[in-house]
A and B are shown apart, each in its own frame.
Chain A
Amino acid sequence: DAGITQSPRYKITETGRQVTLMCHQTWSHSYMFWYRQDLGHGLRLIYYSAAADITDKGEVPDGYVVSRSKTENFPLTLESATRSQTSVYFCASSDSLAPSTDTQYFGPGTRLTVL
């Protein structure tokens, strides 16, 4: 029962580099989410996806790109990393048709440092 996994778990990169964070879930959940968590801000939604090939912006989408060609994968790409994108990134999924009213299951997180 792998559930939801993220890779890498830790990443250090430099300003201006492109970075891709991977998220994979084995439950066939329809909805997937990307959040970032920073001290004092809690979890903030970056992007979400209701199904394969359907994505939408969250609260803080600038500087990020997502895709969802397969239901089980939802990669997040930082096109040109900036120091302000240093954060812990969590991927989550939900099997509900109305995910705002149901449980979200989180991956273990990726700690990204941009130097």
Chain B
Amino acid sequence: RKEVEQDPGPFNVPEGATVAFNCTYSNSASQSFFWYRQDCRKEPKLLMSVYSSGNEDGRFTAQLNRASQYISLLIRDSKLSDSATYLCVVNIPYDKVIFGPGTSLSVIP
């Protein structure tokens, strides 16, 4: 089993739709989790950290399920500008991070 797995997609959704991505991780000792966004042919940029209690930033909600070892990202009211690849990042003890392969999202007019 890979250390971090994501459904590669692509997810094609209409504007205004709600879409959710999951990411599973294999190391039960992982403590830090992030979602990064990567636009086509650009560098990854931090979208949000994922906290144990879950967190929300505008239209974006991230959640952590430690028991099942997955994190999720929910995007509400999708915009065309949300089209990108979303990378799940999980820390591996000690002091390393693993990037998932990414999930591609296309928001369609």
Contact of B43 among A40, A90, A100 (CB under 8 A): A90
**Secondary structure of the B contact surface, majority rule:** strand
Q: Are B32's CB and A101's CB within 8 A?
A: yes
Q: Are A109's CB and B43's CB within 8 A?
A: yes
Q: Are B44's CB and A106's CB within 8 A?
A: yes
The stretch from B12-20, B54-62, B71-79, B91-99 touching chain A is B91-99
Q: Are B43's CB and A101's CB within 8 A?
A: no
Contact of A42 among B31, B34, B42, B99 (CB under 8 A): B99
Q: Confirm or deny: B87 has a beta carbon within 8 angstroms of a beta carbon on chain A.
A: yes
Interface centre among A43, A100, A101, by most chain B C-beta atoms within 10 angstroms, is A100
Number of interface residues of A (CB under 8 A): 19
Q: Are B87's CB and A42's CB within 8 A?
A: yes
Contacting residues of chain A (11-69) with chain B, CB-CB under 8 angstroms: 35, 40-45, 58
A-B pairs with beta carbons under 8 A, tally: 45
Q: Confirm or deny: A75 has a beta carbon within 8 angstroms of a beta carbon on chain B.
A: no
Q: Confirm or deny: B46 has a beta carbon within 8 angstroms of a beta carbon on chain A.
A: yes
Report the separation of the CA atoms of residues A58 and B31 in the bound assembly, to the nearest whole angstrom: 19
From residue B70, how far is it (CB to closest CB) to chain A in Å?
Answer: 17
User: Which residues from B are CB-within-8-Å of A45?
Assistant: 96-97
Report the separation of the CA atoms of residues A98 and B32 in the bound assembly, to the nearest whole angstrom: 11
Contact of A103 among B41, B46, B102 (CB under 8 A): B46
User: Which residues from A are CB-within-8-Å of B32?
Assistant: 100-101
Q: Are B46's CB and A100's CB within 8 A?
A: no
Residues in chain A within 8 A of chain B (CB atoms): 35, 40-45, 58, 90, 98-101, 103-104, 106-109
Q: Could you list 8 A-B pairs, sorted by A, with CB under 8 Å? A: A40-B101, A42-B101, A42-B102, A45-B97, A90-B43, A100-B95, A100-B96, A109-B41
Q: Which 8 A-B pairs have the closest CB atoms?
A: A106-B43, A100-B91, A43-B99, A42-B101, A101-B32, A42-B99, A103-B46, A100-B95
Residues in chain B within 8 A of chain A (CB atoms): 4, 31-32, 34, 41-46, 49, 87, 91-92, 94-97, 99-102
